[in-house]
Amino acid sequence: MFALLMRIASSTVITLIMRFTDKKTSNNMAMFMANYAVCSCLSYFYMHQAGVPAFANEPGLGFTVTIGIISGIWYLVGFLFMQFNMRENGVVLCSTFNRLGVLVPTIMAMVVFKESPKMVQIIGIVIALVAIVLMQFEKDNINAGGKKIWLVIMLLSAGFCDSLTNVYDKVGNPVLKDNYLLYTFFVALICATILTIREKHKISKWDLFFGFIIGVPNYFSSRFMFEALKTVPAVIAYPVSSVGTILAICIGSVILFKEKVSNQKKFALVLVMAAMALLNI
């Protein structure tokens, strides 16, 4: 459970830093490029510490490389889907459906990997999903236009990307875990670099600076999820990670940004805490 708490903390730090950078950065892709550069370096460091070469002669190397490449590409695909949906459907709906992507790895854990949560935990998952919708979905802020099918595609995309960690945890060679993270982040770095060059937008020192800062918690968010899946079933780990991060972000936003919490969000936070309690029974 400690690893899962650290995953929540890392994910929260990423979001709070990105919120702080809203008015300081102008080139998000350059920021992501710097972020993935740091993640790649940390992946290589831990891989080297484990004494495993980048292309170690271990069983499952081909699978590790393949799923790492897919994961790295999908990191950027997910980001592009988010950008598109923010323009088409607004921030509120985009954020809601992105969070609901937790459905994909949760359902996959039950259907593909035959994980069976207790009835009380299933109730916790349902309450968590309701809390996610209430937390993000406030009627006055909804964009009535847009193409809603893209929200569903983004939900599936976000969930698919999250699911890959669980797929590797269940099927991949644990010796190559750090190699998988290296392949993932290095491929994401290559994709982000190509898109940064292609866009030809000006890159500021703040884009790179905050990208480097975000890279540290981003790497550990992935690493701690791997550690969490060793002891916590995926069907529990993913919902707890999602609602726990929402709770932590809300608390952090109130403390750091003096954000006002509506009655709807207060109710959602009560549901989040109830879901957390039920999921951990």
Q: Are 32 and 269 in contact (CB under 8 A)?
A: no
Pair of tokens at residue 15: 């979001």
* C-beta of residue 102 within 8 angstroms of C-beta of residue 240: no
DSSP 123-192: HHHHHHHHHHHHHH--GGG--S-S-THHHHHHHHHHHHHHHHHHHHHHHS-GGGHHHHHHHHHHHHHHHH
Residue 57, domain extent = 2-279
Q: Which residues, 6+ apart, have CB-to-CB distance to 35 below 8 Å?
A: 211, 212, 214, 215, 218
As a residue count, the chain comes to 281
To 5 degrees, how large is the angle CA 195–CA 198–CA 203?
80
Answer yes or no: are the C-beta atoms of 43 and 219 closer than 8 Å. Answer: yes
Contact 186, 71 (CB under 8 A): no
The pLDDT of residue 184? 95
pLDDT, tens digit only, all 281 positions of the chain = 889 999 999 999 988 888 787 777 888 889 999 999 999 999 999 999 988 888 888 899 999 999 999 999 998 888 788 777 777 776 666 777 777 888 889 889 998 988 888 899 899 999 988 888 887 666 555 555 556 788 788 888 888 988 999 999 999 999 999 999 999 999 999 999 998 998 888 888 999 999 999 999 999 999 999 999 988 999 999 999 988 888 888 888 888 878 777 788 888 888 888 988 888 76
> Residue 95 in contact with residue 210, Cβ under 8 Å?
no
Sign of the torsion angle spanned by Cα atoms 190, 237, 240, 125? positive
Using only C-alpha atoms, the chain has a radius of gyration, in whole angstroms, of 19
Separation of alpha carbons 211 and 13, rounded Å: 13
Question: Could you please report the per-residue DSSP string of 242-259?
Answer: HHHHHHHHHHHHHHHH--
What predicted TM-score, i.e. pTM, was given to this entire model? 0.87
Q: What pLDDT, on the 0 to 100 scale, is given for residue 132?
A: 81
Sign of CA dihedral 52, 58, 64, 65: positive
Work out how many domains the chain is built from and give that number. Answer: 1
From 253, 263, 233, 191, select the one nearest 39 (Cα to Cα). 191
Tell me the C-alpha distance between 42 and 52, whole Å.
14
Q: Is 146 left (phi over 0), alpha (psi -120 to 50) or beta?
A: left
